[in-house]
């Protein structure tokens, strides 16, 4: 995107008021000046960066997790992921989360892309990685974390997405990036 277009469309922050500060997210009500000079308000959720991992073993199988997600009151099937610690590189976050949640360590990690899960009200960004050369070293979940992980063939994962069995955006985005980069 050209700098000129960004400058033409940019909204300028006039005032930012923090409404809530939590462990994972902070909510702000920002007054902004629009490009036409009028003022408006934006409710923004600030969130730390996160990373997700499409981990593929030597058989072409992908690690998936089933995890209860409170906002949906349902078990969600997704790839390993988690939030980054302050100033932690995204690749470090990805490797740490893969090992904590599944017990697998990747011999090779490469970035697939960056995913913005909901551009209308949050600045959350999720860095997507491909992990290969997996070695089991032992799972060590965070306190209060409960999940089941398992391997599925890559084609089965694609079918699960097509059939609507996987609704998780980061999983769908990671598979899309992978297909565009490696399955031409």
- Judged by phi (left if over 0) then psi (alpha if -120 to 50, else beta), residue 87 lies in left
Q: Which fold has domain 50-182?
A: Nucleoside Triphosphate Pyrophosphohydrolase (3.90.79)
Give 104-117 pLDDT, tens digit per residue: 999 999 999 999 99
For residue range 82-101, list pLDDT tens digits in order.
Answer: 999 878 999 999 999 999 99
**In degrees to the nearest 10, what's the CA dihedral of 33, 34, 38, 40?**
-70
Chain centroid to CA 179: 18
Cα–Cα distance measured from residue 40 to residue 42, given in angstroms and rounded to the nearest whole number: 7
**CB 17: neighbour CB atoms within 10 A?**
10
For position 107, what pLDDT does the model report? Answer: 98
Domain ranges of the chain: 3-47, 50-182
Q: Three-class SS of residue 125?
A: coil
CA separation for the pair 115, 165 (Å, rounded)? 20
Specify the pTM: 0.92
pLDDT at 143 over 90: no
């Amino acid at each position: 995107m050209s700098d000129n277009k960004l400058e033409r469309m940019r909204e300028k922050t006039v005032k930012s008021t923090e409404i809530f500060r939590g462990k994972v997210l902070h909510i702000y009500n920002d007054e902004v000046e629009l490009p036409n000079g009028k003022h408006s308000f934006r409710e923004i959720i600030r969130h730390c960066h996160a990373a997700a991992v499409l981990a593929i073993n030597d058989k072409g199988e992908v690690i998936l997790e089933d995890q209860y997600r409170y906002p949906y009151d349902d078990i969600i099937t997704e790839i390993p992921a988690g939030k980054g610690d302050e100033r932690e590189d995204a690749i470090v976050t990805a490797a740490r989360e893969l090992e904590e949640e599944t017990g697998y360590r990747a011999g090779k990690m490469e970035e697939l892309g960056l995913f913005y899960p909901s551009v209308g009200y949050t600045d959350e960004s999720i860095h997507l990685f491909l992990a290969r050369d997996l070695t089991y070293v032992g799972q060590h979940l965070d306190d209060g974390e409960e999940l089941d992980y398992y391997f599925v063939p890559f084609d089965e994962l694609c079918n699960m997405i097509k059939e609507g069995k996987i609704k998780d955006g980061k999983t769908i985005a990671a598979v899309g990036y992978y297909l565009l980069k490696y399955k031409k």
